[in-house]
Amino acid sequence: MEYIAFDCHKKYTYAVVEDEKAQVHREGKIVHERGALAVFLKACHPGSPVAVETVRNWYWFVEEIERTGCVPRLVHAAKAKLMLGITNKTDKLDARGLTKLQRAGTLPTVWILLGEVRDKRELTRARMALVQQRTRLKQRKKPGKT
């Protein structure tokens, strides 16, 4: 079995793949380009757990992981940080720490919504943003009016 962990950022993800004996098979940066994450995960065993921290844009990470046949595990970032007790945080240490917690069976996970529910929530968020933008435009002062 392989344990995979992602330390996600805005433009790239740091990934680590380890086995049960903590031997690192692969690690490095994955630039956020179309299909790059899928290419990385295709080389891993299907059904492998993939730890992803709860970051702002976690939806697309989880969807990519599910598409490749791996099992996403959304991590409670604050609890994981406390459990690891790392003072010098780096991408490499964070990702390796998540694989360590997975191997030990103590990874603090949170519930992942079903894809349909995620899509409906995203649609609602987009609609709310459009309504707020429309309201801002309507409330703008027009030149010459007080």
* 43-101 pLDDT tens trace: 899 999 999 988 877 888 898 999 999 999 999 988 988 898 877 778 888 899 999 99
Q: How far is CA 19 from CA 3, 13, 26, 27, 61, in A?
A: 6, 20, 10, 12, 22
Q: Residue 27 pLDDT > 70, yes or no?
A: yes
Question: What pLDDT score was predicted for residue 115?
Answer: 82
Calculate the average pLDDT of the chain: 90
State the angle between helix axes of 58-67 and 115-139 in degrees (0 to 180), rounded to the nearest 10: 150
Cα–Cα–Cα angle for 92, 93, 98, rounded to 5 degrees: 100
pTM over 0.95: no
Predicted confidence band of residue 146 (pLDDT cuts 50, 70, 90) = low
Helix (H, G, I), strand (E, B) or coil at 134: helix
**Count of Cβ atoms closer than 10 Å to residue 51 Cβ:** 23
